[in-house]
Amino acid sequence: MKFEDYLNVANYIKEKIDFKPKVAIVLGSGLGGFVEKVKVEFELDYKDIPNFPISTVSGHKGRFVFGYIGKEKVVIMQGRVHFYEGYSMEQVTMPIRVMKLLGAEILLLTNASGGINRYFKAGDLMIIQDHISSFIKNPLIGKNIDEFGERFPDMSEVYRKSLIKKIEESGKRLNINLKKGVYVQLSGPSYETPSEIKMLSLLGADAVGMSTVCEAIIGNYCGFKVCGISCVTNMASGVSKNTLNHKEVEENAKLAGKKFSDLIYDFIENLE
């Protein structure tokens, strides 16, 4: 895609909705219920936006929600598309560039993940401190679009320390015990084998999933202040004896939903 293609998508949205968000939020599997807490101004289904990628996974909604959290203007992606659906990395991360063009400055990425760290348990929330992208195709491969960012972006602080501190403060205020760790993205859609989880553990990963890292790379590149929260919906393959299935992942995300929603609401309400 060229810069003009992204501009066209952003302008299409702007024509429908006159609203400049400060914070962009991507809601992961089973975490879409957060929208109920938001004072909604507009909604826009992805399917109504020309050239916008649409999710093919059951339970993954697909719409933008524009509204307020306290005084803060937000745009929320209720559902995202994944690389394993057959979309290119460019398509998967296109919405991040579009939200940048809509004027958003802070990017909060969320997801459901499998817990690798043995001190975690299903239902925990983990602040993403850093990520490992080495198992996915880098979404910046291709001709650089200088209007968005530079060819070789620095990655030394993708997840802003200042935002991590604010999420921790929210956790303290709400008495929510928060974990902190490294998230690794694999392509999926198959879950991992126990041997793969052992490898990821040795490499320093605390949680594993199929999203977020590619979005964080694009977000960091195009100048967002990025942060992320992962909902550990299950212990990863071989860490627990249970087998894994998507339904259980979604159900566990919903169980942690209230805690998750309270946390991100408080975080955004207290940003300034």
Q: Give the residues lining the site for ligand HPA (CB under 6 A).
A: 112-114, 191-192, 208-210, 233-234, 236, 244, 249
23-60: b (≥16 Cβ within 10 Å) or e: bbbbbbbbbbebbeebeeeeebebeebeebbebebebb
Is 245 known to be catalytic? no
Is 112 known to be catalytic? yes
Q: Closest distance between ligand HPA and the C-beta of residue 237, in Å?
A: 6
Is 68 known to be catalytic? no
CA–CA dist 165, 79 (Å, integer): 26
* CA-atom Rg of the chain in angstroms: 17
**Closest CB to ligand HPA among 78 and 113?**
113
Distance of CA 154 to the CA centre of its chain: 20
**Closest CB to ligand HPA among 216 and 249?**
249
**Closest CB to ligand HPA among 175 and 243?**
243
Is 234 known to be catalytic? yes
CA–CA dist 192, 198 (Å, integer): 10
- Which of 90, 144, 246, 265 is an active site residue? 246
Q: Closest distance between ligand HPA and the C-beta of residue 232, in Å?
A: 8
Is 29 known to be catalytic? yes
**Closest CB to ligand HPA among 24 and 207?**
207
- Which of 12, 84, 87, 265 is an active site residue? 84
CA–CA dist 141, 127 (Å, integer): 27
Is 168 known to be catalytic? no
- Which of 82, 104, 192, 236 is an active site residue? 82
CA–CA dist 226, 129 (Å, integer): 11
Q: Closest distance between ligand HPA and the C-beta of residue 55, in Å?
A: 15
> φ and ψ at 65, to 5 degrees?
-120, 125
Distance of CA 103 to the CA centre of its chain: 18
Q: Closest distance between ligand HPA and the C-beta of residue 251, in Å?
A: 11
Q: Closest distance between ligand HPA and the C-beta of residue 186, in Å?
A: 7
Is 88 known to be catalytic? no
With CB atoms as reference, the residue minimizing the distance to ligand HPA is 114
Is 131 known to be catalytic? no
**Closest CB to ligand HPA among 192 and 206?**
192
- Which of 211, 220, 230, 252 is an active site residue? 211
The Cα-based distances of 250 to 13, 32, 34, 133, 217 in angstroms read 30, 10, 14, 24, 25
User: Are 197 and 237 contacting, i.e. CB atoms less than 8 angstroms apart?
Assistant: yes
Length of the chain in terms of residues written: 272
Q: Which residues are catalytic?
A: 29, 60, 82, 84-85, 112, 210-211, 234, 246
